[in-house]
Amino acid sequence: MATTPSSPALLPVSGEKGAVTVGTRSLSSRRAVTILGKVLFALLALLIVIWSVGPFLWMMITSIKPDRDLATLPPILPTEITFNHYGALFETRPFYRYIINSTIVSVATTLVCLLIGSLAGYAFGRLRFPGRLPLLLAVLVVSMFPQISIVAPIYRMFQQRGLLNTYEALIIPYNAFALPLAIWILTSFFRSIPVELEDASRVDGTTRLGALFRVILPLSLPGLFTTAILVFIAAWNEFLFALTFTTSIDHQTIPVGIALLPAMYHVPWGNIAAASTLVTLPLVVLVLILQRWIVQGIVAGALKG
Amino acid sequence: MRHRYSEHLFAFALLLPAFVLIVAVALMPASETLWTSLHKVSMILPGSDFIGLGNYERLLRDGRFWNAWRNTLYFTAASVALETLIGLAIALVLSQNFPLRGLVRAAVLVPWAIPTVVSSRLWGLIFNTDFGLANYLLRSAGILESNKNWLGEIGWALNVTVLVDVWKTTPFMALLIMAGLSTIPGDLYEAARVDGANMLQRFFQITVPLLLPVMLVAVMLRALDAFRVFDVIYVMTGGGPADSTEVMSTLTYKILFSATQFGYGSTLAGAMFITLLGVSLVFLYALRNRLEVD
């Protein structure tokens, strides 16, 4: 080759060839770096998933282990799958009672809160009146009240009115605490709806209240939906008020039921794991499906001030 | 003029149900707590004696109060700091584009949806002395020689409750930080890259300063929440061992409902109320510019 530099035209070609080799070498090392980066990134993402979901999975695994597998570790995985712990929940204690109570309280809280919150949200978002901003801020401050500071007076108030150990004893305070968040989210949603749409319906002779129910609310379905999920989950998870204002299984909710399963010694871990899985799984599924709405709600509630 | 007047009336009518509820179930009980805290209330004799700030003087001399106060501050500071760091890391990962991102994002939300009582049980199971996963993993890795009684040791119990709170509330932090990240224009990073700024420089000179306002809001909201902690402690340790995990809420609850000292219990509740009200007012004042924009 070197003996016959046949044509000068070949030189640039070989030169090009050399450039290409250099190019591929740097390209392949760069590719190695990006692949390494991708692997590290994937590991990081995996770590996040394990940290988030792992503990819950561990509880699910525990709930289907037979008793002999529970007292020691290993085995990590059950040697045999059993649903005895789930059965026990309904034999020894009517656990379904807690589920019914929680459902009634959470659904009622959500509905009342959406109704009252929509009315207030419409006023804050659409109407002009003196004291609008101070009142909105007052609502915000109430959401920061520590529950422990007001639990005793509410207890005595309910005691005097014979409301202790009723569903109302939970629905009323849950509403007071969920309303600020609902009002804030709905106010910002209502405000985002074009005024022209409402005006058009008003020209057609609809009253303001009619416009709220026929124009604003249907257009705010995403906002209502988001609010509903957040309020429902908050009510479903609340513990302090439920522990204080209800005293028997007739009205106690799931968190109280789970907290009051015996605690320190001879803990029926299998049953606790089964109960926890049972009441949390629907919530986890709900979150996985409704992720987008929930994210929107949390962000709107916290940052859309 | 008359039209505007009727609009005002209409607005107040719409607000009425919400405000009746908030006044009756939050404002009135809070004032009652403050009023009761100025009294000595006996469970045996009817009525109560006005003793002014006497209960508060007693509070300042009460070792149990200061112990709970310290634990609450430690719990709040430790959990909020960790949540912010982990939340930031998660948010940075999730703001990248990668396959299955939606799934990872959904997974991150799971702890947030789990009732605190359940997550306390869940971690109680993991930190069990005899068959807990934590001891098993640490022993397998050679870090621990024998099983540790995490919730029974004075130095460790409070840290375990912090971990539970961090696990449960990091998603909230991550979501808010992600929302903050999404508002930073991509051009800024592009421009910085053109100017030769490396990844760390871009992070500290663009991401951090622009994220600060959102982080501030998130940290304050979480701190106010962590300060009220009750569920985790009540379920996991009940305040023990030797009061080493007793926090303001659990101590107040015990004095109110186990010792039935309504006067002194209200003083603790009142002290907490005043503290949080003060902090949230300062918080709102700091945010007044954001609020006035609307």
Q: Does A248 touch chain B (CB under 8 A)?
A: no
Q: Does B144 touch chain A (CB under 8 A)?
A: no
pLDDT band at residue A297, thresholds of 50, 70 and 90?
confident
Write the residue in A58, A148, A280 that is nearest to B115 by C-beta: A280
Q: Does B269 touch chain A (CB under 8 A)?
A: yes
ipTM for the whole complex: 0.89
From A278, A284, A245, A242, select the one nearest A259 (Cα to Cα): A242
Minimum distance, in Å, between the CA of residue A225 and any CA atom of chain B = 16
Which structural domain, as residue segments, surrounds residue A133? 93-303
B26 with A128: Cβ contact below 8 A:
no
* Side chain identity at residue A235, one-letter code: A
B228 with A147: Cβ contact below 8 A:
yes
Give the helix/strand (H/E) hosting B41: strand B39-41
Q: What is the pLDDT of residue A232?
A: 93
Please indicate, yes or no, if residue A275 is contained in any of the structural domains: yes
Do A113 and A245 reside in the same domain of the chain?
yes
Cβ-Cβ contacts under 8 Å between A and B: the total is 280
Do A44 and A112 reside in the same domain of the chain?
no
Do A232 and A99 reside in the same domain of the chain?
yes
Q: Does B18 touch chain A (CB under 8 A)?
A: yes
Write the residue in A233, A276, A303 that is nearest to B176 by C-beta: A303
pLDDT at A15 over 60: no
Going along B149-252, which residue ranges are E strands? none
Question: In terms of pLDDT, which residue wins out, A212 or A305?
Answer: A212
pLDDT at A16 over 50: no
Tally of residues, chain B: 294
DSSP collapsed to 3 states, B140-178: HCCCCCCCCCHHHCHHHHHHHHHHHHHHHHHHHHHHHHH
Write the residue in B25, B269, B272 that is nearest to A172 by C-beta: B25
From B72, B44, B78, B114, select the one nearest B248 (Cα to Cα): B72
Please indicate, yes or no, if residue A227 is contained in any of the structural domains: yes
Q: What is the pLDDT of residue B87?
A: 94
From B60, B83, B31, select the one nearest B226 (Cα to Cα): B83
The residue-averaged pLDDT of A194-215 equals 81
Preceding omega of A74 cis (within 30 degrees of 0): yes
Cβ-based contacts of B17 with chain A (< 8 Å): 116, 119-120
B10 with A127: Cβ contact below 8 A:
yes
Q: What is the pLDDT of residue A24?
A: 54
Dist. CA A194–CA A171, nearest whole Å: 34
Q: Does B3 touch chain A (CB under 8 A)?
A: no
pLDDT tens-digit map of A35-57: 888 888 889 999 999 999 999 99
φ, ψ for residue B41, nearest 5 deg: -105, 125
Q: Are A55 and B123 in contact (CB under 8 A)?
A: yes
**CATH domain B52-292 topology:** MetI-like fold (1.10.3720)
Q: What is the pLDDT of residue B291?
A: 56
Tokens in use for A153?
């007076």
Q: What is the pLDDT of residue B270?
A: 92
Tokens in use for A177?
């605490």
Write the residue in A53, A255, A269 that is nearest to B110 by C-beta: A53
Q: What is the pLDDT of residue A205?
A: 78
* Side chain identity at residue B157, one-letter code: A
Please indicate, yes or no, if residue A64 is contained in any of the structural domains: no
Work out the number of other CB atoms within 10 angstroms of the CB of residue B190. 10
Q: Does B293 touch chain A (CB under 8 A)?
A: no
Among B6, B7, B19, B25, most A C-beta atoms within 10 A, so best to mutate, is: B25
pLDDT at A298 over 90: no
Residue of B nearest to A136 (CA): B291
CATH code of A299's domain: 1.10.3720.10
Q: What is the pLDDT of residue A260?
A: 84
Q: Does A195 touch chain B (CB under 8 A)?
A: no
Give the helix/strand (H/E) hosting B281: helix B262-286
Rounded (to 5) percent helix, strand, coil in chain A: 75, 0, 25
pLDDT tens-digit map of A139-190: 888 888 899 999 999 999 999 999 999 999 999 999 999 999 899 889 988 8
B175 with A295: Cβ contact below 8 A:
yes
A147 with B262: Cβ contact below 8 A:
no
Residue B85, Ramachandran bin (φ over 0: left; ψ between -120 and 50: alpha; else beta)? alpha
- Chain A, residues 1-40, CB within 8 A of chain B, namely none
Please indicate, yes or no, if residue A1 is contained in any of the structural domains: no
Work out the number of other CB atoms within 10 angstroms of the CB of residue B121. 26
Cβ-based contacts of B123 with chain A (< 8 Å): 55
Please indicate, yes or no, if residue A32 is contained in any of the structural domains: yes
Dist. CA B97–CA A242, nearest whole Å: 43
Please indicate, yes or no, if residue A200 is contained in any of the structural domains: yes
Preceding omega of B241 cis (within 30 degrees of 0): yes
N- to C-terminal Cα separation, chain A: 77
Give me chain A's average pLDDT, please: 82
Among A52, A57, A229, A289, most B C-beta atoms within 10 A, so best to mutate, is: A52
Do A149 and A16 reside in the same domain of the chain?
no
Write the residue in B17, B90, B125 that is nearest to A269 by C-beta: B125
Please indicate, yes or no, if residue A153 is contained in any of the structural domains: yes
A298 with B90: Cβ contact below 8 A:
no
A177 with B26: Cβ contact below 8 A:
yes
Do A32 and A131 reside in the same domain of the chain?
no
Residue of A nearest to B37 (CA): A149
Q: Are A85 and A274 in contact (CB under 8 A)?
A: yes
Question: CB under 8 Å to A198, separation ≥6 — which residues?
Answer: A126, A211, A215, A216
Please indicate, yes or no, if residue A203 is contained in any of the structural domains: yes
A58 with B228: Cβ contact below 8 A:
no
pLDDT string in tens for chain B (294-residue length): 556 778 888 899 999 999 999 999 999 999 999 988 888 876 655 667 788 788 888 889 999 999 999 999 999 999 999 999 999 999 999 888 888 888 888 899 899 989 999 999 999 989 988 888 998 899 888 888 888 889 988 889 999 999 999 999 999 899 889 888 888 888 888 888 888 888 888 888 888 888 888 888 889 889 999 999 999 999 999 888 989 999 999 999 999 888 778 888 899 999 999 989 888 888 878 777 665 444
Query: Using CB atoms within 10 A of its CB, is residue B157 exposed (0-12), middle (13-18) or buried (19+)?
Result: buried
